[in-house]
Every structure is written in C-alpha cells, then in structure tokens.
Amino acid sequence: MRRTGLFFSVVLLIVAGISFAQQPKEKPKDSQAAEPASGPIPAEEAAKKNPVKPTAEGLSEARKLYGYHCAMCHGKDGDGRGDLGVDMKLELRDWRDANSISKYTDGELFYIITNGRGKMVGGEGDRTKAEVRWNLVNLVHSFAKKSAEEPAKP
C-alpha cells in the first residue's frame, strides 16, 4: 500500500514538473527581438549608417552566421529560395538583384536583421553583437555585388 502511494506521489511530481516546464516563459520587456517587427520601420532606425566597413574577416564571420540562421529561408547565396522558405511558400527578395537591395537603407536592413520581419521569427538582436549584425548588412550588400560582377550568359 505504501509503495502505491509513493509511486503515485512520484508520478504526480513528474507530471507537475513537466507542466511547469512547458509553460511559456515571459520575454524581458527590454529585449530587442521580442516579436517579429511589422509595420513601418521607425525613421530614426532607417537613418542609421553602417559604422562597420566590410572586411574579409567580418564577411567571413557573417557568412558563417548567415549559413546557420538565414540561408534556410533566404538561400545560400541570397536568392530567396532556401529550402524552408520554399516549403513555407514565402516570397522572399532575391538579394542578388541590386534593384531589390537598393530599396533598403543600411539602417532598415540592420533593423530587420535585429528584430525580424513578417514571418521571420525574431531576429539576431538578442543573439549577436551589433558589429556582427552590421557585418550581416555588409554580406547582404555583397550578394548584389557578386551578381553584378558575373558575366552575362549567352
């Protein structure tokens, strides 16, 4: 009889622990990437200038992060055709097209990378330093530069 009571007590504690662990955790109110951004980008954010000059090291670091967090939707080379993006039927911009990227200021790109946009869950704001996010802005710009340098195919 005691064993049965002990068994049920242990099961009850386990179930209570699992229920508690599955409750959604509140995000801090000061978190930069609490929810994906929607609506217009604030003017003061859009006006920001990129303080980080593109370097081989910076682009390499950004490329690695992009491969882990961005390429699944935005494509390995920024074409907007990553496996997950295609599966989700997302219509993402082709960052290799200079006209597509020219519509955004560095500040707007930084804001989107930091906060997310639309279905882009969160962003890099709570995971990476500002310098790394500015390097991601440089990387996005490099996609368009690479395609402009490619010779036209006959």
CB 59, CB 141: distance < 8 Å: no
Is residue 41 within 8 A of residue 110, CB to CB? The reply is: no
In the chain, what are the domains? 54-154 (1.10.760.10)
Long-range contacts for 61-64 (Cβ within 8 Å, ≥24 apart)? 61/132, 61/135, 62/132, 62/135, 62/136, 62/138, 62/139, 63/139
- Percent of the chain at pLDDT exceeding 90: 49
Question: At residue 54, does pLDDT exceed 70?
Answer: yes
Q: What is the pLDDT of residues 8-17, one digit of tens each?
A: 555 555 655 5
Q: What is the pLDDT, as a whole number, of residue 120?
A: 81
Residue 25 has pLDDT above 60, yes or no: no
Please report, as a single letter, which amino acid is at residue 102.
Answer: S
How much of the chain exceeds pLDDT 70, in percent?
Answer: 68
122, 128 contact by CB (below 8 A): no
Rounded to two decimals, the pTM is 0.69
